[in-house]
């Protein structure tokens, strides 16, 4: 393989580039990113960066030394617009094309916008309405939140991004309302009992959580002035943050030979329908699921790159799902897979203290865990779960390696 | 010198967080006592709550690993070292930490390791 192109210059793309070099690939490496920025870490954008506790230079995911070791050609501020049917030529919006004999797709996801909302000037053009995904998004939002004047903030969507933004806004002294269309935020992920406890964190800090109602329209002419809810209520707003999920960045792949369905379809090793094209991170639908988790984006690339270099799937990676969130001074951590039939119980701590460890069980087997401010026991359990979730292929490979080592 | 706890209250494989500014984590491994800055150099997480394996500690948030002897990260996502501090145990068995001056990776690391080793040997003897 003489040229590998990594499309996407965020966490998964950078980890793929690192994995390529770590695995001995010494050919040409081209990294294409639609933002002008070098890779940076996104999780702080809704937390420490928004409150001002963390500066921009602390977000960098690599440094000059590492970048020189990567020996990559960086094409930044350039958007990929197409991949030919052989998966060998990437068309860029600059008019240029990049030819490669291996492609890593790491184009992430973009925030979902409010569907069907209409303002007098159209919600898309109203000042004060934000989504939060990129550094530029965070800069724009931070500028409106740090003028020194308390403002009315309405957060649409009570998931992790929405809840973290609400928490950061409270820390900055603003009045905050969170609107969630579902009966409770995080209901599918955590189940009723635990979602109820996490939702209570908002009230603990004076944030009103409005559930079970969607948004009909945003009000305002140039700048947003209010959010009209399905139930007829009008919430006054100076700033609106929309955090209602993200859609995978696959639009540029229409017309390619890749199978797309809520992401780029791949096998458990990240290999797409073309063996010289792999996908990693938020954009990859690995096996039958797509995860938008930080850890996932760091753990998938090693296997995907190994398979890319081998020309076939020799390694699989289905990392144990893990996500965390910091809200109102509470660290929430979740690992595993919760199924609707799971039962949940608290094994230490108490919900009143907002410090506990809970386990999700199915037929007596622990399949997931949730912790609020209990990092140590959580970590132990997470490691146990990760050991148990080895894929058959990985377990077989480990057994073979152990046998080989024993034979030596 | 900052008093930490009695050695009896810090069993092997355990750690304790010292609420200095910035906080320090003291670990007792099979071999010795080690002290490093408690806050992961990647993002805000307490290494005293991490996973101890030999002379390495894994951050409880993103699984960055640090070598307790040197403070150097051994894997991503951490790229910057944490400071190491000298640990000692007095005649009564009380553990103390001498906070290192300056930035991570500065001199004094070897001395801290030696002191911690000596303590470890003393303890097991």
* pLDDT < 50 positions in chain A: 119-123, 390-396, 398, 408
* 3-state DSSP percent of chain A in helix, strand and coil, to 5: 30, 30, 40
Mutation target among B48, B62, B64 for the A interface, most CBs of A within 10 A: B62
Partner residues linked to A210 by β-bridges: A179
Whether residue A379 and residue B76 make contact (CB cut-off 8 A), yes or no, is: no
The model's pTM: 0.88
Facing residue for A375 by CB, picked from B60, B77, B79: B60
* pLDDT at position A406: 52
Whether residue A61 and residue B45 make contact (CB cut-off 8 A), yes or no, is: no
Contacts of B74 in chain A (CB under 8 A): none
> With 90 as the cut, is the pLDDT of residue B118 above it?
no
Whether residue B43 and residue A18 make contact (CB cut-off 8 A), yes or no, is: no
Q: In what order do the strands lie in the sheet with B51-53?
A: B51-53, B56-58, B65-67, B73-75
Determine the residue of chain B that is closest to A377 in CA distance. Answer: B49
Closest CA–CA distance from residue A70 to any residue of chain B (Å): 15
Burial of A100 (0-12, 13-18, 19+ CB in 10 A): buried
Give the span between the Cα atoms of A319 and B7, in whole angstroms.
38
Determine the residue of chain B that is closest to A326 in CA distance. Answer: B44
Whether residue B60 and residue A61 make contact (CB cut-off 8 A), yes or no, is: no
Determine the residue of chain A that is closest to B78 in CA distance. Answer: A61
* pLDDT at position A388: 78
* pLDDT at position B102: 73
Mutation target among A17, A46, A50, A375 for the B interface, most CBs of B within 10 A: A375
Determine the residue of chain A that is closest to B15 in CA distance. Answer: A376
Pairing of strands A102-105, A3-7: parallel
Closest CA to A78 of A35, A126, A125: A35
Determine the residue of chain A that is closest to B45 in CA distance. Answer: A375
* pLDDT at position A125: 74
Higher per-residue pLDDT: B125 or A29: A29
Segment B68-103, tens digit of pLDDT: 999 999 998 999 999 999 999 999 999 999 999 876
Burial of A57 (0-12, 13-18, 19+ CB in 10 A): exposed
Whether residue A61 and residue B77 make contact (CB cut-off 8 A), yes or no, is: yes
Closest CA–CA distance from residue A74 to any residue of chain B (Å): 21
Q: Is A185 helix (H, G, I), strand (E, B) or coil?
A: coil
- String of b and e for B85-110 (b: at least 16 CB within 10 Å)? bbbbbeeeeebbbbbbeeebeeebbe
Facing residue for B49 by CB, picked from A44, A48, A375: A375
Structure tokens, A173? 């002294």
Contacts of A40 in chain B (CB under 8 A): none
Whether residue B77 and residue A295 make contact (CB cut-off 8 A), yes or no, is: no
Whether residue A380 and residue B44 make contact (CB cut-off 8 A), yes or no, is: no
* pLDDT at position A390: 46
* A342 alpha carbon, distance to own chain's centre: 25
* pLDDT at position A198: 97
Segment A316-325, tens digit of pLDDT: 988 899 999 9
Using N-to-C axis directions, what is the helix angle for A11-22 and A294-310, rounded to 10°? Answer: 40
Partner residues linked to A83 by β-bridges: A90
B79 part of contact set with chain A, CB < 8 Å: yes
Query: If you search the block for the tokens 């500066």, which residue do you land on?
Result: A55
How many interchain CB pairs under 8 A, A with B?
Answer: 34
């Amino acid at each position: 393989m003489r040229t590998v192109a990594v499309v996407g210059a965020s966490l998964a793309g950078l980890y793929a580039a690192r994995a390529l070099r770590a695995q001995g690939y010494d050919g040409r490496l081209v990294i294409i990113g639609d933002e002008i920025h070098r890779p940076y870490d996104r999780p702080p954008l809704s937390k420490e960066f928004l409150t001002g506790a963390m500066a921009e230079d602390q977000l960098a995911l690599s440094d000059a030394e590492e970048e020189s070791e990567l020996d990559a050609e960086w094409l930044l501020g350039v958007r990929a617009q197409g991949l030919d049917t052989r998966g060998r030529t990437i068309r860029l919006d600059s008019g240029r094309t990049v030819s490669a004999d291996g492609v890593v797709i790491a184009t992430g996801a973009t925030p979902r916008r409010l569907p069907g909302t209409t303002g007098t000037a159209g919600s898309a053009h109203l000042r004060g309405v934000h989504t939060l995904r990129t550094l530029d998004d965070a800069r724009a939002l931070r500028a409106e939140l740090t003028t020194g004047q308390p403002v009315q903030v309405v957060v649409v969507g009570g998931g992790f991004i929405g809840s973290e933004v609400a928490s950061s806004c409270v820390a900055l002294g603003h009045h905050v309302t969170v609107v969630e269309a579902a009966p409770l935020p995080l209901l599918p992920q955590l189940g009723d009992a635990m979602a109820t406890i996490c939702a209570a964190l908002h009230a603990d800090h004076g944030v009103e959580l409005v559930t079970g109602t969607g948004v009909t329209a945003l009000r305002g002419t140039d700048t947003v002035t209010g959010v009209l809810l399905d139930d007829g209520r009008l919430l006054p707003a100076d700033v609106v943050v929309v955090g209602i999920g993200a859609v995978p960045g696959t639009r540029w792949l229409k017309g390619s030979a890749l199978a797309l369905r809520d992401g780029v379809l791949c096998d458990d090793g990240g290999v797409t329908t073309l063996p010289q094209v792999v996908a990693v991170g938020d954009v990859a639908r690995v096996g039958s699921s797509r995860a938008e988790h930080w850890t996932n984006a760091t753990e998938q690339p090693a296997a995907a790159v190994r398979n890319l270099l081998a020309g076939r799937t020799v390694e699989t990676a289905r990392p144990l799902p893990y996500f965390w969130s910091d809200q109102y001074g509470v660290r929430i951590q979740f690992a595993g897979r919760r199924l609707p039939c799971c039962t949940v119980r608290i094994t230490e701590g108490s919900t009143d203290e907002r410090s506990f460890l809970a386990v999700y069980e199915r037929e007596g087997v622990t399949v997931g865990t949730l912790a609020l401010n209990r990092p140590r026991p959580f970590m132990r359990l997470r490691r146990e779960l990760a050991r148990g979730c080895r894929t058959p292929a990985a377990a077989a490979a480990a057994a073979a390696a152990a046998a080989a080592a024993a034979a030596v | 010198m900052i008093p930490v706890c009695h050695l009896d209250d810090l069993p092997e494989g355990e750690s304790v967080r010292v609420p200095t500014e910035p906080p320090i984590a003291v670990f007792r491994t099979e071999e010795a006592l080690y002290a490093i800055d408690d806050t992961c150099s990647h993002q805000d997480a307490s290494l005293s709550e991490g996973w101890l394996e030999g002379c390495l500690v894994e951050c409880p948030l993103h699984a960055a690993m640090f070598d307790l002897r040197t403070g150097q990260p051994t894997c991503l996502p951490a790229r910057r070292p944490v400071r190491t501090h000298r640990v000692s145990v007095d005649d009564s068995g009380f553990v103390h930490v001498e906070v290192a001056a300056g930035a991570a990776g500065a001199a004094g690391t070897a001395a801290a390791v030696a002191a911690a080793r000596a303590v470890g040997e003393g303890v097991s003897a």
